[in-house]
Structure 1
Amino acid sequence: MAAQTEFIATQVPLTVQGVELSIASLHRAGERAPILFLHGFGSTKEDYADIVRQAAFAGQPFVAYDAPGCGASHCADLGRISIPFLLDTALQILEHFQIERFHLVGHSMGGLTALMLAHKLAGRVLSFVDIEGNIAPEDCFLSRQIVDYPEVDAERFFDDFIERARQAPAYASALYAASLRHKVRPGAVRGIFESMVWLSDHGELMDTFLGLGCPRMFMYGEQNAHLSYLAHIQAQGVRLAQIPACGHFPMYSNPMAMWQHIAEFQAGAHAG
């Protein structure tokens, strides 16, 4: 008996800023507006594959893909990758799958990319779930290591980054560290991190986030409840979702709580 196909895995050939890519994706078609998922640094599209296990999302169309330099995607020039490059990749993915209006979910690096995407495509984004994506300088606790621990050799920097992540006193840090070498090409790290730091420090991300016209939810782990801006963004109409027993990675530490909050939020956004 053949196994039921719950999503389709494809390699999508793209050319972004003159660079040849082959983007590994998972998707499921349907009649409703789809969800576009953007993963964080050191993660992959499979962070979101369990949407097919969630009754609240029965039949929900979605697209998730590995960013260039990550997972099973291939990039002909790793040194060209940056957040603006990832934004252009997302725009082409939407075009490839012929997606017009959609819900948006992004984590960390993917949250920052999603913020830029939501700003660029105002009117097409039905809702935005930002899972600890960068909106202030204090959010660069991972990416700012490219500045705080200067190292010319990409492999050596990545080795040291992995060890620091392994020893970090936060939920799922060791689990996260264990797969980093398999999920990220070292040559992609510097461009991603440097652009994240620059945008967080100089890109007016908070103003951009608060200026979005779509319903917004900011999700964070209880270990990061100290973020200085939480009360401010809540006062500006952003829904907060604190995930118990969790640090930066709700999809690893408490996925059921993550999915429940996303489902409830998107249902409310759709009803509105």
Structure 2
Amino acid sequence: MLKEIFNVSSSQSFAHTSLPLTVGNVQVNIATLHREGERAPIVFLHGFGSTKEDYADLVLHQSFAGHAFLAYDAPGCGDSQCSDLSSLSIEMLVETALQVLAHFKIERFHLVGHSMGGLTALMLAHRCPQRVISFVDIEGNIAPEDCFLSRQIVDYPSDDPEAFFTAFIERARHAPAFASALYAASLRRKVRAGAVRGIFQSMVELSDNADLMGKFLGLQCPRMFMYGEQNASLSYLPHIQAHGVRLAQIAACGHFPMYSNPMAMWAQIADFHASCALD
């Protein structure tokens, strides 16, 4: 059974690259995982409090054999560095994505984004729709109701970044959702406290005022929206399905399919690509 699912040959592995960039006036050093391949690249943008390693297992799944692959830590997250954490925002993450894609000479690609990364991916796809072959949005923000994490910057105001982050971690640790405690356990390793405010404020601003739903439904590429069964009450699910978006509900899962049910996540992404007859 394992031989049917996994291939651990050296040709299926990935490389690490540290990539120094200047985004606006800010110096960043981006930690990446990547693999070359003859099939179209799949680009992953991780969520807040997650890292590129969420997607490293792609290389073990035979369904993705031959695909080039890229995942990286956003500035101020994981192993990536940022000289001015206060400058971080979704717009800066989009600009970072464009520079990383240019470095790896990736012109057209399949796009997968989770949560913060899903919102970044949406803004990237809206900016250059001709480059996106398909889009898998894993609970990325497309409506104000999606700000259940980021809106805490408004609901629990604090002038002290460390104090806010400490309280945020504790709230996450005790949240009644799959993988919440697991998520909370590594937040200090995966995000710098000074990065939180700018990211969260821009997520709330975009979710409330930037017509994200219109941008998402306006994309012409095949789209799939993935969500955990604990979030099946999201009000817009029937609406986006009626507009041609494929829905993928992940069992035994809240906001984090890559932690709670990764095999189901990978199977849904692979089946989506196959159903669209995509390269």
Normalising by structure 2, what TM-score?
A: 0.95
Q: How does 1:189-200 map to 2 (within 5 A)?
A: 189-200=196-207
Q: Which residue pairs with 1:119 in the alignment?
A: 126
Q: Deviations over 1:107-132 (max 9, x none)?
A: 00000000001111111100000000
Q: Which residue pairs with 1:95 in the alignment?
A: 102
Q: 2:66 & 2:53 partners in 1: Cα distance? A: 18
- 1:178 corresponds to which letter in structure 2? A
- For 2:232, which of 225, 228, 250 is the aligned residue? 225
Q: 1:60 & 1:4 partners in 2: Cα distance? A: 15
The answer on 1:14 being equivalent to 2:17 is no
Q: Which residue pairs with 2:261 in the alignment?
A: 254
The answer on 1:29 being equivalent to 2:36 is yes
Change (3 A) 1:191 1:271: closer
Q: Which residue pairs with 1:51 in the alignment?
A: 58
- 1:260 corresponds to which letter in structure 2? A
The answer on 1:154 being equivalent to 2:161 is yes
Q: 1:51 & 1:117 partners in 2: Cα distance? A: 22
Unaligned 5+ residue runs, structure 1? none
Q: Which residue pairs with 1:264 in the alignment?
A: 271
Higher mean C-alpha displacement, 52-61 vs 242-251: 52-61
Residue 157 of structure 1: CA displacement? 0.2
The answer on 1:132 being equivalent to 2:139 is yes
- 2:268 corresponds to which letter in structure 1? H
- 2:137 corresponds to which letter in structure 1? D
Q: Which residue pairs with 1:215 in the alignment?
A: 222
Q: Which residue pairs with 1:166 in the alignment?
A: 173
- 1:259 corresponds to which letter in structure 2? W
Q: Deviations over 1:128-147 (max 9, x none)?
A: 00000000000000000000
Residue 271 of structure 1: CA displacement? 4.3
- 1:21 corresponds to which letter in structure 2? V
Q: 1:237 & 1:94 partners in 2: Cα distance? A: 28
Q: 2:74 & 2:57 partners in 1: Cα distance? A: 19
TM superposition outliers: structure 1 runs of 4+ over 3 Å: none
Q: How many residues are matched?
A: 270
Residue 59 of structure 1: CA displacement? 2.4
Q: Which residue pairs with 2:3 in the alignment?
A: none
Query: How large is the RMSD of aligned CA atoms in angstroms?
Result: 1.1
Query: Contact conserved, 1:224 with 1:247, CA < 8 A, in 2?
Result: yes
Q: Which residue pairs with 1:41 in the alignment?
A: 48
Q: 2:71 & 2:267 partners in 1: Cα distance? A: 19
Normalising by structure 1, what TM-score?
A: 0.98
Unaligned 5+ residue runs, structure 2? 1-8
Q: Which residue pairs with 1:238 in the alignment?
A: 245
Q: 1:52 & 1:238 partners in 2: Cα distance? A: 27
Q: 1:267 & 1:169 partners in 2: Cα distance? A: 35
User: What SS does the aligned partner of 1:152 have?
Assistant: coil
- For 1:82, which of 86, 89, 101 is the aligned residue? 89
Q: Deviations over 1:168-204 (max 9, x none)?
A: 0000000000000000000000000000000000010
Q: 1:33 & 1:247 partners in 2: Cα distance? A: 30
